[in-house]
Amino acid sequence: MKKWKSISCMCMLAGALVFQPLAVSADQPENSPGTPDQQNYKIKGFVDYEELEQRLEKIEQTSNGRVDVEVIGQSNQGRDIYSARIGDGDKVVLIESEIHGNEKTGTDALLHILQYLGSSNSTHAEKIREELTFVAVPKMNPDASELDRRGNERSWEEVVADFPQLEGAVPSWNYYNRSLQGDDYSDNPGFDVNRDFHPDLQYEPQPEDFPGSSSEPGWYIHPESQTIRDLYIDLQDEFGSVDTFIDLHHQGPHYKVGETNKDVTMSISAQFVPNPNSEDGAKYSSYADNYNYDFSRQLNVAIYNKLQQGNSPFNNITLYSQGLDLPGTALGSFALNGSGTVLFEVRGQTHSFGQKKRGQLVKTVETGLYAVLEGMADGSVYEQDPERYEDIPLTNR
């Protein structure tokens, strides 16, 4: 690791974080990736920030130089944001977890994969390391993770201090400064960082672009989104493009698979903005040459197929809401920049289901991610029929 700094312990909060179910605020768009409809859980048992640092350090130390852990930025509250990189291949896979700090299975799954790829001498691991450059950013929004909530910890006044041109502008629409989804933001407000992305990676915030809306781009006004954007640009500079970008989230606990009575284990998606090559996506036409919807669909088909494993809960995979227009999400912005993109939405907030279920859900994420890593490494994902994406059952909300 390049840099370590001590962070005051926030462990005393953990015991108190038991939320009661609460309806999503009316102004929260229904089709909002990672918006659970209720939350009733504890975070005890999940990897916290301090443990993440320890685990990453250990993974790097025991990897024989295979895993490179770096500090790539700091959160608004000064916590380091880490990337862990492995492999020498020219196909790039970037995966982040906990952009919403209360959506935690992705971090566990990434740590398991890093541990395996960093230490295994199997031909399976070697093949992935040879063909791919895998970059993981676990807990990309660590302040939200430590508060176990969706939004980061930052006030509009802090935004204006960083961007004086926004003096007098209306705070962005995704600013949380009241009670929302079981969390009271009135004393320590924050923002949904997953609406702060802009497909123009060089965009600088302008007052006339506020307060914005869910169907308009974000502004890169937060250190967490800036950190991922800068990493994305660095990878583009190094490799020409970021082939695949995956964002790991959670959704409501009791959605159903199509018309069945089965609970959805995980939803996936390839669609976050209207296709720039279509009439609906005309406003994104300048990105039309980059956009690779078929590759995103191939990735989703590979994930779906790998998770169809006999009669098990792993089978219960659906498509997340389609027809979205969310250019302020990391997925929407990076899809317009040419990455194959996949959304993972695991059911519930996990701990409410107990340890066994938590393990099963983490395993679901891991299995889905391996479908991508293996399929890109052996080339099979490029042979998938993208139209099979349309056969994946829809989520019944």
Which is closer to Zn ion, CB of 53 or CB of 96? Answer: 96
Which is closer to Zn ion, CB of 105 or CB of 188? Answer: 105
Residue (of 267, 309, 302, 252) closest to 395 by Cα position:
267
* Two structure tokens written together for 330: 């990391």
Q: What is the C-alpha to C-alpha distance for residues 342 and 246, in angstroms, rounded to an integer? A: 5
Q: What is the C-alpha to C-alpha distance for residues 5 and 53, in angstroms, rounded to an integer? A: 10
The helix or strand, by DSSP H or E, that contains position 286, with its residue range, turns out to be none
Report in angstroms how near the CB of residue 290 gets to Zn ion at its nearest.
24
Residue number of the CB closest to Zn ion reads 34
Which is closer to Zn ion, CB of 135 or CB of 144? Answer: 144
Which residues make up the interface to Zn ion (CB under 5 A)? 34, 100, 103, 249
Report in angstroms how near the CB of residue 94 gets to Zn ion at its nearest.
17
Residue with tokens 């498509």: 319
Report in angstroms how near the CB of residue 39 gets to Zn ion at its nearest.
12
Task: Centre a 10 Å sphere on the Cβ of residue 258 and count the other Cβ atoms it contains.
Answer: 14
Which is closer to Zn ion, CB of 66 or CB of 249? Answer: 249
Which is closer to Zn ion, CB of 55 or CB of 100? Answer: 100
Q: What is the Cα 249 distance to its own chain's centre?
A: 6
Coil, helix or strand at residue 326: coil
- The alpha-helical segments, DSSP class H, found in the chain are 49-61, 105-119, 123-131, 142-147, 156-162, 223-239, 293-307, 330-336, 354-378
Which is closer to Zn ion, CB of 264 or CB of 377? Answer: 264
Report in angstroms how near the CB of residue 129 gets to Zn ion at its nearest.
29
Report in angstroms how near the CB of residue 353 gets to Zn ion at its nearest.
17
Residue (of 213, 228, 218) closest to 142 by Cα position:
228
Report in angstroms how near the CB of residue 386 gets to Zn ion at its nearest.
25
Q: Are 53 and 77 in contact (CB under 8 A)?
A: no
Report in angstroms how near the CB of residue 123 gets to Zn ion at its nearest.
35
In sign, the C-alpha dihedral spanning 204, 208, 214, 215 is negative
Which is closer to Zn ion, CB of 128 or CB of 361? Answer: 361
Report in angstroms how near the CB of residue 194 gets to Zn ion at its nearest.
6
Residue (of 257, 191, 247, 187) closest to 369 by Cα position:
247
Which is closer to Zn ion, CB of 49 or CB of 287? Answer: 49
Report in angstroms how near the CB of residue 120 gets to Zn ion at its nearest.
30
One-letter amino acid for residue 145 of the chain: S
Which is closer to Zn ion, CB of 141 or CB of 292? Answer: 141
Q: Are 301 and 385 in contact (CB under 8 A)?
A: yes
What are the residues whose beta carbons fall under 8 Å from the beta carbon of 239, sequence distance 6 or more?
A: 90, 92, 133
Task: Centre a 10 Å sphere on the Cβ of residue 88 and count the other Cβ atoms it contains.
Answer: 10
Q: Are 387 and 293 in contact (CB under 8 A)?
A: no
